[in-house]
């Protein structure tokens, strides 16, 4: 069973209540002994909920997930939060991305135009003053 625990499918089956009683007991025993496996299981539970919200869960797991959801208020709450976050994130994607280099080019172009205007005014002033000195 130790080797089998590393299998994500087995852990998902555990979360969904699809393992046999013996496999479930052995897996739980290992989870209590090994924090790394427990952390993996918690992360997998998060992924399972996200996959359900984003409609990426295979049909074989979807039905079991929905059955488990009926008896698990904690999952219902997390599902509501995950759904709200997903909808909020979808709304944030409406603003188009504008690369910084385009802004830099516009700034450079505006600076060059301003320098040209200043140079033209300075040249005009010099020409005006020379004209006044000659008369």
11 CB-side CA count, 13 A: 20
CA dihedral angle for residue 68, residue 7, residue 48, residue 85, rounded to 10 degrees: 150
Average pLDDT over residues 76-87: 74
Question: Which candidate, 44, 39, 34, 51, places its Cα nearest to that of 13?
Answer: 44
CA dihedral angle for residue 77, residue 81, residue 83, residue 84, rounded to 10 degrees: 140
Task: Tokens for 69, please give them.
Answer: 């959801």
Question: Which candidate, 9, 73, 11, 44, places its Cα nearest to that of 52?
Answer: 44
* pLDDT attached to residue 4: 46
CB count within 10 Å of CB 39 equals: 11
* pLDDT attached to residue 117: 93
User: pLDDT class for 1, splitting at 50, 70, 90?
Assistant: very low
How far is it, in rounded angstroms, from Cα 90 to Cα 102?
26
CA dihedral angle for residue 86, residue 35, residue 30, residue 70, rounded to 10 degrees: -30
Q: What is the pLDDT of residues 38-58, one digit of tens each?
A: 888 889 988 888 888 888 888
User: pLDDT class for 121, splitting at 50, 70, 90?
Assistant: very high
* pLDDT attached to residue 22: 93
How far is it, in rounded angstroms, from Cα 17 to Cα 15?
6
How far is it, in rounded angstroms, from Cα 97 to Cα 5?
43
| Spans of all domains in the chain | 2-92
């Amino acid at each position: 069973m130790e080797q089998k625990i590393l299998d994500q499918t087995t852990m998902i089956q555990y979360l969904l209540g699809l393992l046999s009683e013996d496999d479930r007991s052995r897996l739980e025993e290992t989870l209590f002994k090994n924090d790394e496996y427990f952390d993996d299981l918690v992360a997998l539970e998060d992924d399972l909920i996200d996959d359900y919200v984003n409609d990426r869960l295979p049909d074989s797991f979807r039905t079991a997930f929905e059955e488990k959801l009926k008896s698990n208020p904690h999952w219902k709450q997390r599902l509501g939060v995950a759904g709200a976050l997903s909808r909020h994130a979808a709304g944030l994607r409406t603003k188009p991305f504008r690369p910084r280099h385009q802004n830099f080019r516009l700034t450079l172009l505006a600076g060059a135009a301003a320098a040209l205007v200043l140079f033209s005014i300075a040249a005009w002033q010099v020409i005006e003053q020379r004209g006044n000195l000659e008369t």
